Amino acid sequence: MTLTKSGLALCLVPGLLAACSTAHAPREQLGAAETAVRQAQASQAPQYAPAELRMAADKLEAARRAMREEKYHEARRLAEQATVDAQLAEAKARDAQSQQTAREMRANIETLRREAERNSITR
């Protein structure tokens, strides 16, 4: 007995549909995304990475919507993306803060250098 491509597809489709319907709600991923977004909001991300933070919050809301609609694969994907976007926002904020601190330290060093030169000339 030979099985044609369309016959094979007809055999596989019910199995794929059954697999899709048994997907579990991604509660852990949603919880991780909520935590990541909350942490990013509490950091300097609103000031230094507002676009990335907004994307994370939007994807988190979309993941919640997908969960309510029982679209678990979509909810998982969106929750994971929200987590990554929130982490990126936090990392960009830390980077911006580090750069600001470095600029301030260079300015302080330059001020100290000028004072030291001035003091060495007046002695």
DSSP of 41-53: HHTTHHHH-HHHH
Per-residue pLDDT of the chain (123 residues; tens, 9 = 90+): 455 666 545 555 555 554 555 589 999 999 999 999 999 999 999 999 999 999 999 999 999 999 999 999 999 999 999 999 999 999 999 999 999 999 999 999 999 999 888 888 876
Residue 55 lies inside a defined structural domain of this protein: yes
Residue 82 lies inside a defined structural domain of this protein: yes
Residue 103 lies inside a defined structural domain of this protein: no
Residue 115 lies inside a defined structural domain of this protein: no
Residue 38 lies inside a defined structural domain of this protein: yes
Residue 57 lies inside a defined structural domain of this protein: yes
Domain ranges, residue 40: 24-95
Total of domains in the chain: 1
Q: Give the Cα separation of 106 and 119 in Å (integer).
A: 20
Q: Which residues lie below 8 Å from residue 47, measured CB to CB, with a gap of 6+?
A: 93
